[in-house]
Every structure is written in structure tokens, then in C-alpha cells.
Chain A
Amino acid sequence: MNNKKKENNYIKDKEVKSLKERFNFKLFGIIICILFFVSFFLYFNLIKENNVISTQTYDIIRNAQDNDMNDNLVEKTYSSKSYLILKFPLKITTENNALNFLMIIIFIVSLFMINKLIPKTSILLLIVPFTPIFIQFLFIINDYTFSLFSALICVYSINQKNKYFKFIMSLLFSLISFFFNPYIGLIVIIYIVTYLIKNTKIDINYKKKKRIYFSLYLIPILITTFIKYETTLTTTNSFVELNSIYGVSLNLILIAIIGYNKFKRNIYLRNLALAGFAIFFIDKIAGILVLNIILLIIVSNTIKSIIDESWNNINLQKLTILLLFCTIIFSNVLHLSFINNNQTDNEIIETLKEFSKFKASTVISSKENGYIIKYFSNKNIILDSEETKIQNYKEKILDINNLFLSRNIDTTSNLLKKYNISHIIITEDMVKNEDNVEKYNGILFLIDVYRDNFKPILKRDKITIYKFIKK
């Protein structure tokens, strides 16, 4: 009987082995490679000539070009520190080339750093460029980019063998990360402390360790509670599937949940995830970026474990892996497409450049258009997206909301006179976007009714610039 059992087990083992041998990725690998080539083709074809996604980048370029720290066109002090990095490349080349150069450097170095954090399977490295974090790295240059980039270098350095290299590099880059964004910097510090507790030769007893971990958890929680609490936490702004430039992918979350069991005891991921969640409530973008890195690590490990495990049904295993790659690639190619569509339209840019030749005192448009009006038209505006940094912003916001909503010509005229506004810029987004229709209802109505007061001086499909004629 026992011999028979042994024989059966042997046959079973042999079957499993032969299944594993058959599962050698030959055909499967070819399918995935084709999928990737098609996706890469899409990836790079989707990128238009103009590679600036976040309009804030225009403000950073202006900051790098100006020798003054004050933004004279909107009465504020520049808050971004990224201009320091952009200053040098801008001295030797054009804006587009400088941005391209930075993006490529960040992309390649980050890919190398991430490669050290995820399992060493070449196929996994293929999916990394399709994850939200890399799409955000590749297209958006601002303080977050540099802070996270420094954080990755810091994490990479701390895991090196050379003591001095480890110490100097991790200290240097954690400071740089902190300089660009204190919250991401804080997460780097949490990582370093966790590393030290785990790897230090000094004997720390269990109780002490518990206390240290507890205080580590406490820092972000205290910050969340006492410093600042962003109430703008809405689902539509936090997931890439819901068209958010900065967001986590629902698909990646799902895959991470599937693989959660295997990583719940990983102290690094646990500490970083908790800190990431806490930071999310203070600085949403910083939190999202950190969570994206953690997700990427868990997801790549989950995929690897699915590839390595021997499943009872080998075809189902192949189908599941293919499905995993499809979900990641398609969801993020769509994200990329959305990000690409978010670029400022060339027609708007050309019209604003043309408008720079016109004389104008102050211009009003949506606050989202603020950066590009300043950059391309070099005209004074009242508000841009960093409204809270602007002098008397509370009063200005109230007045401008009133100006956009009011259907009374006298109210609007008085407000236009108060801020010495000579021109009004209406873009396609302000008219057609359903969320904006209510927002600019009043001014659109008045422009339509009081045509003598609002004369169009530049009219294109996606943008119209009106001159306000005082009466």
C-alpha cells in the first residue's frame, strides 16, 4: 500500500515538474513581448510635441529664468524649489530640451533604483514604465518629482555594502528629499529608522523596538491631526482610473490585495504604507507618490509569486498572468492618454503668444489658465492655481467668484474696474466642461448679452479673448 502511495506521489511530482518545464514562457513570452511592443508604440506615439503636462511647470521655468524670487505678474512669491535644478539646463539649451533631458535622466535612474527594490525578474521590469508612478515621473517636473527621485536614491544608497558611501549618500539625499518636499523627506527618515532598527548590531529588546515603532507611527498621525488637514479628499482625485494626473491605480490596489498576505509581515512596507496613508491626508500628492512606490513593490512581488508558484491548472495560471499584464498596461496606457490630452492645446498657446503683442493692464480667466497666460502672454493676472500664496487671496477669490457668477452687468463692471481688468480670456474648457458651466455661468451670459461691452479681439475654436469696454 505504502509503495503504491509513494508511486502515486512520484507520478504527481513528475506531472507538476513537467508542467513547470512546459511553462517556459516561450510562446507565452512572445505574446507578452508583442503586447509590450504594441504598448510602447502607443506610449511614445501618444506623446505630442509639447511635453509639458502640468501647467505649473511653466511657472517653474519662469522662476528659473527670472532673477527675482517674486512673481510680479500675480503678486506672489515663487514657492517651488525645482527652479534650482532647471536653472543649469536652461542656461545651455531651450525649455523643451531641458525638460526632455531631465525627464530622461529621472526616468532611467529611477528605473534602475526601482529595479533594486523589486524581484529580479526581467519581465517585471517591463511593466514598471506602465505604472502610474513612472508615468508621473516621465511627464511632470516639479518639487514632488525631485523629492521622490532623491528619496529613491537614498533608499538605494542605504542598501549598499560600503559603509561610508551608504552613510554620506543616504544623508545627502534624504536632506535633498526633505528640501523639496518635507513629507516625502519624513517618509525617507522613517525608512532609515526602520532600517537601523532592523539591521543595527546594538541589541534592542522587543519592548524598546515596539516603542520606537510606535513613535514612528505617531509622527505622521500627529502631523495629520495637528498641522493641516486637507478636506478635499475626493475619490475622483485619487485614482488614475478616475482621470487623476496624480493617483493610485485601482488595478494595482486589487493585485496588491491579492498578494497582501505574503507581505503583511514586511516591516518596511508596513511602516511606509502607514506613513504614506497619513501623509496622504496632509499632502495628497506626496502620499499618492509614496503609496504608488509601495504598491509597485507589492504588485511586482505578487506577480512574481504567481509566476513562480505551481498551479493545478497551468492554463489558468497563464491566463491569469496575461490578464495581470493586460490590466496594468491597458489601464495605464489609458492614463497616459488622459495625461497627454491634458497638455495645453497648441492653438491656445499660439493665441496667447499672439496676445502678448496686445496692450493689456490685467487679464482674467480661470485660475487653471493662470500659469500659461503669464508664461506665453506675459500679462498680469489676478489668480493662478497656487491661489493661497497670492496676497489678499481670500478677498480676491470672493470677488472673482462673484464676477464669474453674477449676471448683473453693473456688479461685473465694478469688479472689473476694481482690479483694472482690461481683457477676459475664455477657453474651451470653461464653456464645455460640464463641471465648469455653473462656475462661469454669469460672465458667459453677460458676454453673450452685452456684446458692446465685451469685444472679441482674438477668436479661435478653443479660445476667445475679449476686450472689456468701460461704459
Chain B
Amino acid sequence: MDKKTTILIGIIFLIAIIIRIFFSVPNETFNDSDSYYSLRQLKSIEENKYLLYEDPLSFSGKEFSFMPGFYVLMGIPYLFFQNIIIIKIISIILISLTTIIIFLISKKLTNNKNIALFTSFGSIFIPILLSKTTNNITTINLTIPLVLLALYLFSEYGKSSTKSFLYISFLFALALVSAHSLIFLTSIFMYTILLKIEKISISKNKQEITIFSTIFLVWINLIFFKKALQSHGINIIWQNIPNDIVFNYFSSLNMVNIIFFIGIIPFVLALYGIYNNLFKTKKEELYIYAGFITTIFFLLLLRLVKLETGLIYLGLAFMIFSSLGIKDLITYIKKTKSVKYIKIIFAGIFILFIITSIIPTIQAINNKNHISPETIQALKWIKNKTPNTSIILGTINEGHLISEIAERKNVIDTNFLLQKNINDRYNDIELIYTSSLAIKAIEASNRYNINYILFDDAKNYYNINSLKYKDSSLLELVYSNKKVDIYKIKGRVEKYEQ
């Protein structure tokens, strides 16, 4: 790689970091509740020197099943600096590495550094990627670059001993960071299937590394998720997410939304690239990424992956294929009389890209619900004024906030694995928030020994203005500010059978 290209890719990498820092660092809070869960893990490392595998606060006390890599990696700087901003910046650097990896992949596929630079720049502005990975500290920030890197190094495996060694090292890292390593594994399988369909023989190196990767990744995941597997059986592939949430995730999914989340220009260019390259030329390397894109499609179709995560991967895969689209477009224009206007055409495409990707991205980040100061105030009130053993009801999005800021037991959060009867619990919570009858709601809340009801996010989540039974004698409003109400449950309603 020449010096100029290195400087340019460095600049793109810096732009990715600066944009994220601009939207992250000034905020004292995070954009999503999962970051508060990560924060609890980091605090556990700081205080107890071990990860939180048994949490007395989540779901009022439950076990966790997760890969420790990300928290250990973040825990080390947190031990030294104990500063959230530094952790935010490290997290930003990690996700921004995606630009460099996209550059490497695109350059490999197109053999054209300018196209690779453009794709790398474009990858900063994938709307769903930027909005979901800004101002947070979650495993996805490390998982995404690792999955892409593993794909790239898999395609390069056997070409040099360094690359082979790097592949195995990053495979280890990916396996220890996230169960998304199984997405990578499925992509490899899909790649071999596609090669078989196209009657392309798979190289010996690839056969060897596929056998190794399969055994290793399955084994590691079996070890870490054994308990969850025993608890949920085959249903573990749906991650024990309540049925209603899965349904709501995907009910809003349509083609327009997908294009909006991915960006219209990368989408169109990628389709052009896929059509021209996959169906007309039979280049083995391409099938690795085709396997990846097919896997993501299937996972989304079968609802086996969270919608947001699936769309992020899909956006990146489309961005990779858009580089091929650009290359083919250039080749095509060069053959026509429009060759004189090639610069104008690409300037037009660039402007369109800015309008359709950058502007929606910035809007998406601005529209993202930050945790409001009122919510933080209310949670601090709970921390200071309620007994330590209190159980606080909040929506799924508020669970980790209750555990981290209020330091109290929650009833539900986003760690569904290893929780029995999750659908009953989810439905009971919905009943408590939406019921018109106090007796029914209180009876349901008694099942989970709830002491206080936090009424904040429920307005959006259940589309209600207030608790319909708030004037009941079984309930007392103990705290209220502009946005948040906190109710204390005063009575018990026991239901004895027969």
C-alpha cells in the first residue's frame, strides 16, 4: 500500500472516530440501556475482580450466560482510569476499525484503491451502523470488526503464514467475544454450499481451516452456553426473546425500511455488483461474502438474529458488494460515449449518497432517545429513598438502568437467556402497565414481589399516558417530575386456587 493511500485511509478512520466522538463524548448518558449493563460488568471487574455471572439485581436475581472477551478487554483500561469517557473512546476506536477492514476487503475484491477508499468512506455513513454504535459500550462494537476481519482473513488464509496465524488468532478473539462467531461459521458453511452449487472446487487450505473453525467455534460456544442450552434446549437459537418482542421487531420490517437503514446508493450499487459478479464471473473469493450476505438474509428471515444487528451486517455486506458495483459501472461507462462525463456522474452519485445516507444518519442519531436527566433524577431518588431490597418495575429498556443507576432489583431487562417462563413474565408486565383493573395489576405485580412501579418509558413502549388505576388505594404516587412518576404498591392481592 502506498503512502498516499495509507494517509487517506488514516484520514477516513479519523473521520469515523471524530464523528462518533462528536455524538458520544458530550453526553453523560448512553444511547441504549445495554451500555449500562456493560458498565455494571466493568464495575464488577473493578470492585470484585471478576465478571458478573450471577447478578442479584437482574430479573430480581439470575444467572448470566455470555462471552467474556469484550468486558475483559474493556475492564483492563477501566481498572486503570475508571473513566467512562476513555471507555467510550476505546469503544469508538474499535467500531471505527470497520472502515479499515472494509477498505481491505474492497481492495481485495476490486483491485482498485480509489474504489476501496470510497467504500471505506461510505461505510462510516451506513445509517443503522452509525446510529446503533454511537454513544454506547456494547459487545457489538468489537464483534462487527472481528466478524469482518475473520471473513477477510479466511479469504486470505494459506496465502502467507502471517495471514494464517492472524486468522487463527482473530478467530480465538471472536469466539471469546460474542456468539456471533456462529454467524461467521454459518457464512463459511454457506460459502462451501455456494461453491458446491457452482461446481467450484474448494481449496485444500480452505477445507482444513473450515474443519478447524467448525470444531473450535462449536466447542467454545457449547462450553459457554451449556447452561442456556440445557435450560432452553433447541429454542436457544431464538435467544429466549419474548415472542411479542420478536413479532414487534419484524412487523415493522419492509423493503423501504431496509433500504433506508442500509442507504439507497450502497443498496443499488451492491445489487448491480452482485448481479454482474456472482452470476457472470465465478470468483471464489466473492462467494465468501455471498455466503455472508445469504446467511444474514436467512437469519433475518427466520428471526434468529436481532433486527438491528442483522441490518448492520446486511448494510456492511451491501457496502462490500457496492465496491464491485462501482467498478463495473466505471468499466461500463468507459465503454460508452458518456466517458467524458464520468467525473460528473460520480460527483452526482456522491451527492446522492450524501443526501440519502449522511443526512438520514445524522437524523437517526439525533432522534435516538438519550436517557433524559429526569429519568436519571428519578432513578437516583429510588436509590436514595427506597429500601435496598426493593424490587422496581420498569420496561425492558429500563431494566439495566434500574440495576445500574438505582442499584435496585429489576423485574425484566434485555438478558433473557436462562430466564424461565419469559413470555409469562413479559405478558404480566404488560398487564401491570396497561390493565384497567387495579386488582388484576396488583395481583400480577405480587407474583414478582414488586414494590415500586417506574412510569417513564412505558408511555412510549405501551402507548399509554398514565396507569389507568393510578387512583386506586393499592397504589401511592411517591415521586413525580416533568417526565417520570414512581408509584409505591401498598397492598397485596393473593390468589389461592380453589
Question: A312-B204, A316-B168 given as contacts; is B209 within 8 A of A324 (CB)?
Answer: no
Closest to A406 in B: B498
Asked if B158 and A312 make an inter-chain contact with CB atoms under 8 angstroms apart, the answer reads: yes
- Say whether B209 contacts A316, CB under 8 Å: yes
Contacting pair B214 A254 (CB below 8 A): yes
- 1/0 per residue A313-344: CB within 8 Å of B? 10011011001101100110010000000000
A320 to B214, CA, bound (A): 10
A220 in contact (CB, < 8 A): no
Question: Which one of A34-42, A149-157, A236-244, A369-377 is at the B interface?
Answer: A236-244
Question: Nearest chain-A residue to B167 (Cβ)?
Answer: A316
Task: Assess whether A327 is in contact with B219, with CB atoms less than 8 Å apart.
Answer: yes
A254 to B216 alpha-carbon distance, docked (Å):
11
Query: How far apart are B169's CB and chain A's nearest CB, in angstroms?
Result: 12
Contact of B215 with A by CB under 8 A:
yes
Is A407 interfacial (CB-CB < 8 Å)? yes
Contact of A255 among B158, B215, B222 (CB under 8 A): B215
Beyond A311-B204, A320-B208, 16 additional pairs, beta carbon < 8 A = A235-B234, A242-B230, A242-B233, A250-B222, A254-B214, A258-B214, A312-B158, A312-B205, A316-B208, A316-B209, A317-B208, A319-B212, A320-B211, A324-B215, A406-B498, A408-B497
Q: Which residues of B contact A235 (CB under 8 A)?
A: 233-234
Cβ-based interface call for A306 (8 A)? yes
Complex Cα gap A219–B196 (Å): 35
Name, among B158, B208, B420, the residue most crowded by chain A CB atoms within 10 Å (CB to CB).
B208
25 sample A-B contacts, Cβ–Cβ < 8 Å, listed by A number = A235-B234, A236-B230, A236-B233, A241-B226, A242-B229, A242-B233, A251-B222, A254-B215, A255-B215, A306-B211, A311-B204, A312-B208, A313-B158, A313-B208, A316-B164, A317-B208, A323-B216, A323-B219, A327-B219, A331-B222, A334-B226, A407-B498, A408-B497, A408-B498, A411-B498
8 Å CB contact of B420 from A234, A254, A330, A434: A434
CA distance A327 to B211 in the complex (A): 13
Binding site for A on B (CB under 8 A): 158, 164, 168, 204-205, 208-209, 211-212, 214-216, 218-219, 222-223, 226, 229-230, 233-234, 420, 496-498
Closest to A331 in B: B222
Contact partners of A241 in chain B: CB under 8 A: 222, 226, 229-230
A276 at the interface (CB under 8 A from B): no
Q: How far is the CA of A243 from the CA of B228 in the complex (A)?
A: 12
Chain A hits for B212, CB < 8 A: 316, 319-320, 323
Separation of A334 and B229 alpha carbons in the complex (Å): 14
Q: Is A442 an interface residue (CB 8 A)?
A: yes
Whole-angstrom CA separation of A327 from B218 in the bound complex: 9
- State the total of A-B contacts with C-beta under 8 angstroms: 72
Chain A, 266-323, CB within 8 A of any chain B CB: 306, 311-313, 316-317, 319-320, 323
Residue on B nearest A326 in the bound complex, by CB: B219
A98 CA / B28 CA spacing, docked (Å): 71
- Bound CA span A330–B216, Å: 13
Question: Cβ of B223: which chain A residues have Cβ within 8 Å of it?
Answer: 330
The 3 lowest CB-CB distance pairs between A and B, nearest first, are A235-B233, A235-B234, A408-B498
Smallest Cβ distance from A263 to chain B, in angstroms? 16
Q: Is the CB of B218 within 8 A of A251?
A: yes
Which interface class (under 10, 10 to 19, 20 to 34, 35 or more) fits A? 20 to 34
Residues of A within 8 A of B226 (CB): 241, 334
Residue of A nearest to B234 (CB): A235
Tell me the interface secondary structure of chain B in the complex.
Answer: helix
Cα–Cα, bound, A248→B453 (Å):
47
Q: Which residues of A contact B498 (CB under 8 A)?
A: 406-408, 411
Report B-chain residues with C-beta under 8 Å of the C-beta of A330.
223
CA distance A311 to B211 in the complex (A): 12
Q: Which residues of B contact A243 (CB under 8 A)?
A: 230
A255 / chain B contacts, CB cutoff of 8 Å:
215
Cα(A319)–Cα(B165), bound, Å? 12
By a CB distance below 8 angstroms, the chain A residues around B420 are 434
Q: List, in ascending order, chain B residues with CB within 8 A of A331's CB.
A: 219, 222
Per-position contact with B for A227-266: 1 when CB-CB < 8 Å, else 0? 0000000111000011100000011001100100000000
Once the chains are docked, how many angstroms separate the CA of A13 from the CA of B6? 41
Q: Are B205 and A251 in contact (CB under 8 A)?
A: no
Residues of A within 8 A of B222 (CB): 241, 250-251, 331
The residue in B209, B212, B497 that gathers the most chain A C-beta atoms within 10 A of its C-beta is B212
Are A311 and B215 in touch, CB under 8 angstroms? no
Q: Of A236, A311, A334, which is within 8 A of B208 by CB?
A: A311
Q: Measured between alpha carbons, how far is A296 from B66 in the docked complex, in Å? A: 31
**Does the CB pair B219–A251 fall under 8 Å?**
yes
Q: Contact mask A11-30 → B, CB, 8 Å, 1/0?
A: 00000000000000000000
Closest to A317 in B: B208
**Complex alpha-carbon distance, A316 and B208, angstroms:** 8
Cα distance, A334 to B216, chains bound together (Å): 18
Kindly report which residue of chain B lies nearest to residue A242, judged by CB atoms.
B230
Compute how far the CA of A326 lies from the CA of B212 in the bound complex, rounded to whole angstroms.
13
Instruction: Tell me the bound Cα distance from A236 to B228 in angstroms.
Output: 11
Closest-CB distance, A172 to chain B (whole angstroms): 41
Please give the distance in Å from B236's CB to the nearest CB on chain A.
10
A323 touches B205 (CB 8 A): no
A63 CB → nearest B CB, Å = 33
A337 to chain B, nearest CB (A): 12
Max count, chain B CB within 10 A of own CB: residue among A242, A324, A406? A242
Nearest CB to that of B222 among chain A residues?
A: A241
Kindly report which residue of chain A lies nearest to residue B232, judged by CB atoms: A236
How distant is A80 from chain B, measured CB to nearest CB, in Å? 29
Per the bound structure, the CA–CA distance linking A416 and B382 in Å amounts to 50
CB distance from A238 to the nearest CB of B (A): 10
Chain A residues whose CB sits within 8 angstroms of the CB of B497 once the complex forms: 405-408, 442
A306 neighbours in B (Cβ, 8 Å): 211
Residues of the A chain whose Cβ atoms lie less than 8 Å from the Cβ of B205: 312-313
Is the CB–CB distance between A258 and B211 below 8 Å? yes
The distance from the CB of B163 to the nearest CB of chain A, in whole angstroms, is 12
Nearest-neighbour CB distance to chain A for B420, whole angstroms, equals 6
How far apart are B149's CB and chain A's nearest CB, in angstroms? 18
Closest to B223 in A: A330
Cα–Cα, bound, A319→B172 (Å): 13
Q: Which residue on A lies nearest to B165, using beta carbons?
A: A315
Question: Which residues does chain B contribute within 8 Å of A258, judged by CB atoms?
Answer: 211, 214-215
C-alpha gap A405/B498 in the complex (Å): 11
Residues of B within 8 A of A405 (CB): 497
What residues on A are CB-neighbors of B219 within 8 Å? 251, 323, 326-327, 331
CB pair A327–B158 under 8 Å, yes or no, is: no
Residues of B within 8 A of A408 (CB): 497-498
- Docked complex Cα distance between A470 and B384 (Å): 53
Distance of A320 from chain B, by nearest CB (Å): 5
Flag if B215 contacts A320 (CB, 8 Å). Answer: yes
Whether A254 touches B208, Cβ cut-off 8 Å, given contacts A235-B233, A242-B229, is no
Q: List A contacts of B168 (CB < 8 A).
A: 316, 319
**Of all chain B residues, which has the CB nearest A449?**
B496
Assembly CA distance A408 to B497 (angstroms): 8
A320 contacts which chain B residues (CB < 8 A)?
208, 211-212, 215
Alpha-carbon separation in the docked complex, A407 to B496 (Å): 7
In the complex, the answer to whether B215 meets A234 with C-beta atoms within 8 Å is no
